[in-house]
Every structure is written in C-alpha cells, then in structure tokens.
Amino acid sequence: MGEFLFLASVLLLAAVIAVPIASRLGMGSVLGYLLAGVAIGPGLGLVADTADLQHFAEFGVVMMLFLIGLELEPRALWDMRHRLIGLGGLQVIVTMLAVMTGAIYLGFVWQTALAIGMVFALSSTAIVLQTLSEKGLMRTSGGRSTFSVLLTQDIAVIPMLIILPLLAVPSIPTLTENGSISRSVLENSDDVAHGHGMSLVEGLPGWGVTLVTLGAVALIILGGIYGARPLFRYIHGANLREMYTALALLIVIGIAFLMTAVGLSPALGTFLAGVVLANSEFRHELESDIEPFKGLLLGLFFITVGAGIDFALLFSEPVTLLGLALGIMLLKFVILYILGRAFKLKGRDQWLFTLGLAQAGEFGFVLISFSLQQSILPVALGDRLLLIVALSMLITPLAFILYEVLSRRLKDGTEQIAHDEIDEQGAVIIAGIGRFGQIVNRLVQSVGAKTVVIDNNLQTIQLMRRFGYQGFFGDPLRPDLLHAAGIDTARVLMVALDDPVAAERLVTYARRLRPDIHIVARSRDRTHTYRLYQAGANDIVRELFDSSLRAGRYVLENIGLSEYEANEAEKLFYQHDRYTVRELAELWDPDIPSAQNDRYIARARELEKELEASLLSALENSNNDAA
C-alpha cells in the first residue's frame, strides 16, 4: 500500500509541476506529461517499472475515443467516408509500402520489412487528438482530415493483427538485450490487444471467431440503441449523482472488456459505442462524467511513455536511433504532404495534417509486441523499434509548435477562437442570437429583465456588442457554459438555435437537468415541433408561423372581410392550430413517416374539418351581429 501511495504521489507531483510550466511556455500539456515521465523515470529513477501503470493509463485512449464518438452522429461518420477510405486508406498503404521498401533495402527479409512497415504506418491517436482538442483545431478541415486518418489507422490495426501470424520467420534469431520500454509496453499492449486471460474466441474455428466478433459488435450497437435509455431511467430513479458516473464508467469499461475478449481493439469498440449514443438524450451527461477521467488517464499514459524510454540504449546508439526516428518522420511528412495536396488541403490545414501525423503511435507498441511473439522480429530489433516509436512521440509536440509558428504566417484557413468565459447569470438564458433570437432578446430586455445570450457565431456576437447588447461566444450545448450562465437557477430558457438537431438536444438536456425550468423553443416546421414537444419544450414557436398568419390576415382584409372579421379569423386559426399540434403530437411517431401513419392522417383530417366549421360559424355569427 505504501509503495502505491508513493508512486501515485510522485506521478501527480510530476504532472502538477511539469504540465503548467510546459503550457505556460506554449509547448502544450502533452509535452509536459512526456517530460514529467522522463524526469521521474530515467532521470531520477523514481519509477522503475511502468507495466502495471500502463494497464490503467491506456483507458485514457479508450475514453478519448468514446468521447469523440459521442461528438459524431452516424450521418457525420457517413459523410466522412471519402476521407476514411480515400485519404486514410492511402496513407496507411503508401506509408507501409514505403517503409517496407526501405527496410528491404537495408537487408531485412520481406516478412520483417512488412511488419516494420505496419508499425510505422500508424500515428499516435492519443497525442494528436489530445493536442487538436486543446488547441481547438478539431473543427478545421485539417483537423477533420487528421481525425479521419487516425480513425482509419485504428481500424487497420485489426487486419494487421490477422496478417502478422502469416509472416512468421522460424529461423529468426532471438537476441536478448536490455530495454525497459519493451518489457513494460510489450506485456501490457499484448494483453490489451488479444485479451489473454479471458478470451471468448480462443480455440474456436475461423467461422466461430467471425460470428462471435460480429455478435459483440451487434451487441454494442443494439445495446446503445435500445438499452441505454431504460438503463439511464433506472439510474435516474436512484436520484444519486454518483450513479451516473458509475454507469458511464461501466459502459466504457464493459465495452473495452468485451472487445478485448473477442480480440478487437477496445478503443475501436468504445468509439463505435460513442457514435451509437451520439443521438441519445444522455450524451451530455456521459460527456461530463467521463471527461475528468479521460484527461487524468491520458496524462498518465503520456507519463508512462516518457518514463519507459530506455536512455541506456539511446545513449549507446544516439545518432543511429535519433536519425532513424527523424528519418521515419521525414518520410511520413513527405507522403502526408503529397496526399494532403492531392485531397486539396491548403495553407494551415495542409501543415496541420502533415506535421500532426508524422510520428509513430501507441498501436506500434502492440504490433511490435505481437511480431516478437510470432518470431517476425528479433528481440534486439524490437527494442530499437520501440525506442524509435517513443522518440517520435516525444518529438511530436515540437512539431505542433512548428505548426503554430507556420500558421501565424499563413492567412488562409479558419482561425479558431477560444470561447468566452461567462461571468454573468440571469433569469432568462437565450441560446442563439440570430434573426429570431435578437427580437426575443430586445423585447425581454426592454422591460428590464436580465438575459444571458450564448451563440457560437462570433460575428453575430461582435455585431450585438457594437449596438450595446451583451453576449457570450460559445457553444450553447456545452454543459459547463450552461452552468456558468445560470441554468441551475434561471426561470426561462429560450432555445433559438438555427440547427434543429442542436435545438432538440439542448431542450432534452435542459429538461432532464431542470424539470422545473420553462423552455421556449424555436422550431423549423411541424415535424420539428413534435420532436421539441417530446423533448420537453413548454412553448414552441414555428419560425414562420406567426409571420405567415399575419400575412394571411392581410389577404383576408383585401378579399372582402372587415378588419375585425380578419382579426377574429386569425385568432381562431391560431388557437385551433395550437390545439391541433398538441393533439397530433400524441399520435406522431418518429419511426413512421407522417404520410404512412394512418391514425395521424385520420386525426389531422378531423381537425381540419373542425377548423373549417369553426371559422364558418364565427363568420356567420359576425354577419348576424352586424345585421
């Protein structure tokens, strides 16, 4: 127990000291964690073996991909298919063949050369995505292209692990040399990749392994679609905040274990689960619960990489090993630059894509481990390859610093601006301040009420400020911004977002967070109105309904009706339409098109006849009164 507490204290102390200093110097948190690992490992010798730590640290990568999946709807993933298959597929294949050719030229047999090519075809998902998120670059074209390639690489690990056993070289020598990083990372990475200890596919024939694997993937998808909602409702009944955190961790750890047991990447499995749950109303709850664990475990992962670097081996061959690391990065740099140009990346996006993916990655540890077990690589070569992978990861934060220097000189590309810190709260929160939200905000403020406006369009916020209205730039769907704006105490939430899907998500989250808050929502059409109604909005205003109704009143006034009659017809139509929407919302089914919903159509016809009868009756009464 004492050793564990000492180790935990050392790790946390190193992170607390190194990371703020690195961030203050503009180097980013990743380089701070890596340097902290170097300091407490090879530097001071406080951490001798990182194997046990690596088991926990790798969950940082798993949680990161789960959170990224939550940000991607299946539709968005489908829209990325050209980058995934084209850009990502070409990067993996071209890099693998180029490295393989170089290895054959150096004298390796083709099997060993192909394994080396697979190792260096991959990049570091952990370092790159963490850095992109920190610097707000995920939404740029270069960031999306980089993410697509990383996702393709993670998927490519699966066929690589299938191919490697076919490359076994029986006569390969088994040399033994020192190498701390090889022992710590190898043992752990193989456990993660193949689930030694508890396997659901061990001993099964090929078709059985395929069926079990497909069954595991299907279980994740079906569980996310049909099982998440009842499970969260059950936890909600306990009315204990910590149970949400427990459930979020259970989802991630359970899926990671299932993927490990069938021989697949746990990171890939949790990413798939995140995509399935991206449309869930519990998405924001999952994000806020997992985020703190993800950040801490990712930091621990980077520390273990730094602490595991074998400096004794490095100092014995410094020029060779460092030269090979830089050479691999330069080769990948050239390939990435050419592919970026071919896929029409320019300026900052081109440099972000090229510099961001030039390193090797953590899955390289997995492939080297498996290749050693299959006698594809000699032990001495494996130790050197592991050190080259680690060195390239250590150099990567410096590549991002170079990108920042270059990006300042480039004018093209969209500059990412940090969100405002919200330091005010009010009785009314207005999410979205476009043409619709501006009118609401002016009306509410004109009677002296306090509003807090949030919008993710910086130009609109800046325009508001020029006219003397206060607003905050940020994503209204972020829970931390909503809490800062006073969602816990506000009386009214006005959802005036242009994006219908975002509006529905915000209403769902706010209603679950505050069952008592009054939500007024802008809807695009009647179908969107039904969705907002089911999400929990109190008052729903179709963006064109009131203006169309007023236009209709003008038409009535100019075809013979008096101003009074037209006004009465308008009021009656408005009241009946509100009643109609409530009636039809109960019959509307999101899984059935309205044109195929017989009960919906029948009731809609009845309500339309009721409206006609009411209007005719009102006009007759008006004429009789006039007579």
Per-residue pLDDT band for 517 (boundaries 50, 70, 90) equals: very high
Specify whether 200 is located in the same domain as 216. yes
- Residues 77-97: what's their mean pLDDT? 83
Q: Which of 408, 443, 464 is the last residue of a domain?
A: 408
User: Residue 5 has what pLDDT?
Assistant: 76
Q: Tell me how far apart the alpha carbons of residues 367 and 385 are, in angstroms, rounded to a whole number.
A: 11
Residues 6+ apart with CB under 8 A from 475: 419, 454, 456, 481
Where is 416: in which H helix or E strand? none
Tell me: pLDDT of 38 over 90. no
Range of lowest pLDDT (43-57, 283-297, 307-321, 374-388): 43-57
Range of lowest pLDDT (28-37, 112-121, 518-527): 28-37
Range of lowest pLDDT (227-241, 418-432, 453-467, 551-565): 227-241
Specify whether 127 is located in the same domain as 199. yes
Tell me: pLDDT of 189 over 50. no
Per-residue pLDDT band for 614 (boundaries 50, 70, 90) equals: confident
Phi, psi dihedral angles at 46 (to 5 degrees): -80, -25
Range of lowest pLDDT (332-346, 408-422, 525-539, 573-587): 408-422
User: Residue 4 has what pLDDT?
Assistant: 67
Higher pLDDT, 27 or 317: 317
Q: Is residue 125 part of a domain?
A: yes
User: Residue 104 has what pLDDT?
Assistant: 92
Nearest to 9 by CA among 40, 50, 34, 35: 40
User: Residue 534 has what pLDDT?
Assistant: 85
Query: How would you write 248-278 as a 3-class SS string?
Result: HHHHHHHHHHHHHHCCCCHHHHHHHHHHHHH
Residues in a beta bridge with 523: 542
Q: Is residue 15 part of a domain?
A: no
- Residues 575-582: what's their mean pLDDT? 84
User: Residue 330 has what pLDDT?
Assistant: 94
Q: For residue 164, what are the domain limits?
A: 53-408
Specify whether 93 is located in the same domain as 219. yes
Q: Which of 543, 569, 588 is the last residue of a domain?
A: 543
- Residues 256-279: what's their mean pLDDT? 76
Specify whether 499 is located in the same domain as 570. no
- Residues 32-52: what's their mean pLDDT? 72
Write the pLDDT tens digit of every residue in 16-36: 888 788 777 766 676 777 788
DSSP string, 81-143: HHIIIIIIHHHHHHHHHHHHHHHHHTT--HHHHHHHHHHHT---HHHHHHHHHHTT-TTSHHH
Reported residue count of the chain is: 627
Q: Is residue 238 part of a domain?
A: yes
**In this structure, are residues 492 and 427 in contact, taking their beta carbons and an 8 Å threshold?**
yes
Kindly state the greatest CA–CA separation across the chain. 111
Higher pLDDT, 274 or 169: 274
Q: Is residue 3 part of a domain?
A: no
Specify whether 125 is located in the same domain as 222. yes
User: Residue 291 has what pLDDT?
Assistant: 73
Per-residue pLDDT band for 599 (boundaries 50, 70, 90) equals: confident
User: Residue 183 has what pLDDT?
Assistant: 38
Where is 558: in which H helix or E strand? none
Q: Is residue 40 part of a domain?
A: no
Where is 540: in which H helix or E strand? strand 539-542
Query: How would you write 433-498 as a 3-class SS string?
Result: CCHHHHHHHHHHHHCCCCEEEEECCHHHHHHHHHCCCCCEECCCCCHHHHHHHCCCCCCEEEECCC
Higher pLDDT, 381 or 81: 381
How deeply is 514 buried, as exposed, middle or buried, from its count of CB atoms within 10 A (0-12, 13-18, 19+)? middle
Residue 8 neighbours by CB distance under 10 Å: 12
Q: Is residue 18 part of a domain?
A: no
User: Residue 431 has what pLDDT?
Assistant: 92
Specify whether 213 is located in the same domain as 158. yes
Rg (alpha carbons) of the chain, rounded to whole number: 30
Range of lowest pLDDT (290-294, 328-332, 431-435, 522-526): 290-294
Number of domains in the chain: 3
Q: Which of 520, 543, 566 is the last residue of a domain?
A: 543
Write the pLDDT tens digit of every residue in 423-475: 788 889 999 888 888 888 888 888 888 889 998 887 788 788 777 788 888 88
SS3 of residue 209 by DSSP:
helix
Specify whether 439 is located in the same domain as 560. no
CA 208 to chain centre: 33
User: Residue 100 has what pLDDT?
Assistant: 93
Specify whether 363 is located in the same domain as 488. no
Range of lowest pLDDT (190-204, 424-438, 553-567): 190-204
User: Residue 217 has what pLDDT?
Assistant: 79
Specify whether 326 is located in the same domain as 337. yes
What's the start-to-end Cα distance of the chain, in Å? Answer: 97
Q: Residue 302 has which token pair? A: 């980077």
Write the pLDDT tens digit of every residue in 361-374: 877 877 887 787 77
Q: Is residue 45 part of a domain?
A: no
Per-residue pLDDT band for 55 (boundaries 50, 70, 90) equals: low
CATH classification at residue 344? 1.20.1530.20
Q: Residue 342 has which token pair? A: 């071919």
Write the pLDDT tens digit of every residue in 381-395: 888 888 898 888 888
Specify whether 82 is located in the same domain as 216. yes
Higher pLDDT, 512 or 198: 512
**In this structure, are residues 497 and 503 in contact, taking their beta carbons and an 8 Å threshold?**
yes
User: Residue 191 has what pLDDT?
Assistant: 45
SS3 content of the chain, % helix, strand, coil (to 5): 70, 5, 25
User: Residue 519 has what pLDDT?
Assistant: 94
User: Residue 627 has what pLDDT?
Assistant: 52
Residues in a beta bridge with 451: 428
Where is 305: in which H helix or E strand? helix 283-307
Specify whether 132 is located in the same domain as 226. yes
Q: How many CA atoms lie within 13 A of 344 on its CB side?
A: 2
Q: Tell me how far apart the alpha carbons of residues 115 and 377 are, in angstroms, rounded to a whole number.
A: 8
Specify whether 524 is located in the same domain as 572. no
User: Residue 338 has what pLDDT?
Assistant: 93
- Residues 168-194: what's their mean pLDDT? 43
Q: For the chain, give the mean pLDDT.
A: 79
Q: Is residue 8 part of a domain?
A: no
Tell me: pLDDT of 180 over 70. no
User: Residue 184 has what pLDDT?
Assistant: 38
Q: Residue 333 has which token pair? A: 């740099």
User: Residue 52 has what pLDDT?
Assistant: 58
Question: How far lies 25's CA from each of 28, 36, 417, in Å?
Answer: 8, 15, 19
- Residues 258-282: what's their mean pLDDT? 74
